[in-house]
Structure 1
Amino acid sequence: MRKVFHFSAMRSTMFILLWLLITVHGGSLSRHKILEVERKLKYLRRHSLKTIESEDGDIIDCIDINKQPAFDHPALKDHKIQMAPTHNSAKEEVTSGSRTSRNGNNSKSGKMMNESLSVTSQVWQKSGKCPKGTIAVRRIRKRELLKAHSIEEYGRKKPSFSHHQHGQVNKNLDSFVQLKNHSKAILFTVGYRYLGGKADLRVCNPFVEKDDEYSTTQVALLTGPHNDFECVQSGWAVNPSVYGDRQTRLFVYWTADGSRESGCFDLTCPGFIQTSNEIALGAAIYPISIPGDLPYVITIYIFKDPYTNNWWVQYGEKTNIGYWPPELFETILYNAQSVEWGGEVYSTTIGQTPHTATQMGNGQFASVLSFSSAITRMRIHDNSDVLKIPELVYDYSDEYNCYDVWLMSDYIDDPQFYYGGPGRNPKCP
């Protein structure tokens, strides 16, 4: 009798789990999709040589570097891995004196941000190391793939361009141009041929209201029209739909068509070629800055190798994570037209009432200098051999009652950019 009862209970439990599985995310899943997801996950793990279980619940697979997901891209079938950049313009040319923000207005003066503590640590590193000849790959979770509209769309941003006519913008928001479902608070520079961009990004853990929303802070290089741009970017993100939780994680992202059909976060689609066995894209960063406490930062440097045209991502001051090969692009493979630093929030309630309560940065407005999110040591690499402070920069916010910006540049040698906000608040209902 005991064995029969045990089997019956097990069968009931399995039935409940199956029912939950096929009704996930408010809808039903076909058996075909479940099998498709299982095949995809098995395919991604086929070249794992070692598995590391992180204390935060992540699983890191140590994948043979020559059999990584990037080579599933048709354009990279015969690509030969570049293990290290041939040229790294790490030298800096720092010019003293004040800088001028857009329109020639002086920025608010004040105390410089407290000296920051550089971070290169990820939680999973406490549990083990990937051997040489492999790359550290965060395992994609089954439930995140099942929630995605399709396997092809998993890990991709929604296109941000739209054409708003004057008068159609939410009158409760002081914004003339709003990106569709996206809100940005950035500092950017244009006017040159850019071969690199760098900055120290204060690491925060913003509140993200819904599972299909995200909040990111990044360094980005872009080229092309607003509705069909090419872009490479890297920074930190809180993105439940991709990572399944609300931890702050390191990410890279790329697109060759304004996120319409190409590009994705990390290694969720073929494209980015990883060379590091020490850093896992999508893995949690620690420690995290807390307002009024020690300001921890990550250093992100994206630069183009002049000999191979690969766009490299450097984490910290010496760890090269990997690169985007030129085969992915049509125009940015030569140079970028703009460099951006700042935050981005995605939500379907951007520009609507009620507005999303998803925070940008650490949730504080930029005017609260001692407590808000900050980006410092912003550098560009143009045709010269050194990194420079950009001569002319512009600050921009889609919704400055929701997320705002502030550039401090007068009376300090190195400009500091403050940004962020709480999202929904009395001024952004």
Structure 2
Amino acid sequence: MYPPFHHLLLLLLLFVVHGTTGIPTWNYTSSGRVSMQELERIQQYLAKVNKPAVKTIQSVEGDVVDCVPIHKQLAFDHPALKNHKLQVAPSMPKSLERREKNYGVSENRVFAAWPPAPGCPKGTVPIRRITVDDVLRAGSLYRFIGKEANQVGKLEHAVAVYNATPGNIHGGSATLNVWNPVVEGDNEFSASQIWISGGKAGQRYETVRAGWQVYPQMYGDYRTRIFSHWTIDGSQSTGCYDVLCSGFVQVSRNIFPGMIISNISVYDGDQLIFEMGIWKAKKTGDWWMGYEKEPIGYWPHELFQYLNSSADLIKWGGEIANNNPNNRHTTTQMGSGSFADEGWGKASFFNSLKIFDLNNFIPITPFPYTQTENNNCYNIIVDKKDEVWGTFFYYGGDGLNKNCS
């Protein structure tokens, strides 16, 4: 039998171990990373956002994924979704239902590091668990639940843009190759994505976007991951990545935002690709996100005002955050880290660019214009329409170099 002192010690151990991570509380507080009061607030927040799971799975890469009942996921905590009815995936635009031929040394499609058999049970969806460490990487709970406009440095782009006035954009898609770009600082990122936007800039500017990114502060590693994001005010005070806040409704049991992409393109070798699409359901007005041929989930129409009717703008391409470390340009790469001029097998690309109109089944193939902040850091070259690739472009760059300081 243990002496009373040992009983007290065991009780103390049970009390201070945080149930979400299994890491003793003193590991956070004694190191000065966080005060006990702040840790308690973080744990209360995590208890709210990490919904009870039917099953918990740890991926090979170390992510903890909870299988949450689909009707009880965080999305439905949003006040605008109080009376929302869960939707089943609508018909995908026809251009997303067929494969586009891709030329080059490889036609390999990427696959993700999920699900480990047998995956989540029927009636549940995979949700990447948020941990204390996830919050602390942002510096505080306030910064974690705050929006990206106040957290990262200068955003730089190399994108193809198509405007529609009046708005007649009901979705878009593209096939893109996948890389694992170097990201210099934990609070910088590198993303390749599709944006769909509508509204008034600086006021109620609504955007949904999806693609792949490397974002160490967000995920705690330098792996390439699928991501989603939404906002209704240009990321000033609303929206979030993936399912870090209520709003995005996860429906797939196989693919989810925040999931690691386990195989990537090789410089001057095999190019690993996938098709990403965002489209508006004709009957409900919800905006859906699809990966390859699988609908992942959707942003309910109740979240939006301008995007309830249609979008005004669509962009495809790369984005990085530059925090000007040591008063110079960042070395964070965009895409493969190679400039667009290097072309096939070396530079990143988007091909088969498509826009969906009101009928959702008639692809519009525009010749978009381009936007960059500094072509010496990151650039883009849109090529003329190709019989195999349709409208396509190369983009990317290495950041800091003799012409980019």
Normalised by the shorter chain, which TM-score bucket? 0.7 to 0.9
1:22 to 2:29 alignment: yes
Q: Report the Cα distance in structure 1 between the residues aligned to 2:385 and 2:70, rounded to whole angstroms.
A: 47
> Which fold has the larger relative contact order, with Cα–Cα distance below 8 Å and residues 6 or more apart in sequence?
1
SS of corresponding position for 1:36: helix
SS of corresponding position for 2:244: coil
The answer (yes or no) to whether the contact 1:58–1:124 under 8 Å persists in 2 is no
2:340 equivalent among 347, 358, 366: 366
Quote the offset at 1:415 in angstroms: 2.5
SS of corresponding position for 1:40: helix
Q: How does 1:16-415 map to 2 (within 5 A)?
A: 21-22=28-29, 28-85=33-90, 87-91=91-95, 113-119=104-110, 121-126=111-116, 128-151=118-141, 153-154=143-144, 157-159=147-149, 181-191=154-164, 192-228=167-203, 229-317=205-293, 319-349=294-324, 353-370=327-344, 371-409=346-384, 412=387, 414-415=390-391
SS of corresponding position for 1:200: strand
Quote the offset at 1:32 in angstroms: 1.7
Please report the RMSD computed on the Cα atoms of aligned residues, expressed in angstroms: 3.3
The answer (yes or no) to whether the contact 1:53–1:124 under 8 Å persists in 2 is no
- Structure 1 residues 152, 380: closer, same or farther in 2, change over 3 A? farther
- Structure 1 residues 227, 336: closer, same or farther in 2, change over 3 A? same
The answer (yes or no) to whether the contact 2:250–2:256 under 8 Å persists in 1 is no
Letter in 2 for 1:363: G
Q: Report the Cα distance in structure 2 between the residues aligned to 1:148 and 1:22, rounded to whole angstroms.
A: 16
Letter in 2 for 1:296: L
Q: Does 27-36 or 262-271 show the bigger shift?
A: 27-36
SS of corresponding position for 1:124: coil
The answer (yes or no) to whether the contact 1:379–1:387 under 8 Å persists in 2 is no
Runs of 4 or more, structure 1, over 6 Å off, are none
Letter in 2 for 1:333: N
Q: Report the Cα distance in structure 1 between the residues aligned to 2:30 and 2:223, rounded to whole angstroms.
A: 26
Quote the offset at 1:225 in angstroms: 3.2
Q: Report the Cα distance in structure 2 between the residues aligned to 1:307 and 1:368, rounded to whole angstroms.
A: 44
Letter in 2 for 1:182: L
Q: Report the Cα distance in structure 2 between the residues aligned to 1:141 and 1:180, rounded to whole angstroms.
A: 24
- 1:143-168 deviation digits (Å, cap 9, x = unpaired): 111232443542665228xxxxxxxx
The answer (yes or no) to whether the contact 1:70–1:267 under 8 Å persists in 2 is yes
- 1:199-219 deviation digits (Å, cap 9, x = unpaired): 112111001111111111001
Normalization by structure 1: what TM-score? 0.82
Q: Does 213-222 or 378-387 show the bigger shift?
A: 378-387
The answer (yes or no) to whether the contact 1:407–1:418 under 8 Å persists in 2 is yes
- 1:230-266 deviation digits (Å, cap 9, x = unpaired): 1001100101111110100011100100000001110
Normalization by structure 2: what TM-score? 0.87
Q: Report the Cα distance in structure 2 between the residues aligned to 1:127 and 1:411, rounded to whole angstroms.
A: 40
Q: Report the Cα distance in structure 2 between the residues aligned to 1:362 and 1:262, rounded to whole angstroms.
A: 31
- Structure 1 residues 347, 157: closer, same or farther in 2, change over 3 A? farther
Q: Report the Cα distance in structure 2 between the residues aligned to 1:152 and 1:269, rounded to whole angstroms.
A: 13
- 1:103-134 deviation digits (Å, cap 9, x = unpaired): xxxxxxxx965553222x32132354001100
Segments of structure 2 that go 5 or more residues without pairing to the other structure are 17-22
Q: Report the Cα distance in structure 2 between the residues aligned to 1:23 and 1:214, rounded to whole angstroms.
A: 30
Segments of structure 1 that go 5 or more residues without pairing to the other structure are 95-110, 161-178
